[in-house]
Structure 1
């Protein structure tokens, strides 16, 4: 389970969609506490792609991982630099369900106050 988790978070940090697609079950769902919505793999990969392009030096630190009967739970702090803003620190907890060695569901709890700079207009420059 640790290998799967390590591969997953490394792929997120690198923006490695091919590895993420491999690690997700095709029908996986990703839920976030800050909007109460479930995302499909395709929707989640779009967000992760945006994060990897938007943030500099994105990394997971202060990791605490716990094995669960059907997967794992992880607490961490996502640290990065948001251009035009500066350092970003987002405490989070994820509950990850694994079926047949692939991620079938993630329930993610983030500190929504810490993600506020990501929703600011400066984080979403208009494309011309």
Structure 2
């Protein structure tokens, strides 16, 4: 559900979520992220670029079965949009994954140039044994 997003921003947001759910990193690279996009997570307080984020997304999509974003709510903010959602899926051990999260997304020239993600890392502890070691 969206509240007042411009149609092109709504399309970008929807296309982004659909590409993540499909594990379609090529579409995110070609059509969604700006080449110099910055992605930040509250869980590690680090800014990373698209290639590092693609590694995370590939891992997530290959590790979690039935990965999906539910209860999506988007609101316009200056320069982009905010999205609240619940990320759901099934961990390799069979545990249900339910992570409540939100993005604050900055958009320029039809691409995501910055994404700040806030989530409760304790909700994804069932994935800890499967996480790759940090680079």
TM range (shorter): over 0.9
Gaps in structure 1 of 5+ consecutive residues = none
The one of 86, 93, 97 aligned to 1:88 = 97
Cα pair 1:85 1:117 within 8 Å, conserved: no
Question: TM-score, normalised on structure 2?
Answer: 0.87
Report the 3-state secondary structure (helix = DSSP H, G, I; strand = E; otherwise coil) of the residue aligned with 2:59: helix
Gaps in structure 2 of 5+ consecutive residues = 1-8
Structure 1 Cα separation of the partners of residues 105 and 21 of structure 2:
17
Structure 1 residue 83: deviation in Å?
Answer: 1.6
Indicate whether 1:60 and 2:105 are aligned. Answer: no
Structure 1 residue 85: deviation in Å?
Answer: 3.9
Most deviating of 82-91 and 44-53:
82-91
Q: Which residue of 1 aligns with 2:55?
A: 46
Q: Which residue of 2 aligns with 1:13?
A: 21
Q: Which residue of 1 aligns with 2:122?
A: 113
Structure 1 Cα separation of the partners of residues 124 and 49 of structure 2:
21
Report the 3-state secondary structure (helix = DSSP H, G, I; strand = E; otherwise coil) of the residue aligned with 1:13: helix
Report the 3-state secondary structure (helix = DSSP H, G, I; strand = E; otherwise coil) of the residue aligned with 1:117: helix
After TM superposition, the runs of 4+ consecutive aligned structure 1 residues lying more than 4 A away are none
Q: Deviations over 1:65-111 (max 9, x none)?
A: 10122011000000000021411000001000001000000000001
The one of 107, 113, 116 aligned to 1:98 = 107
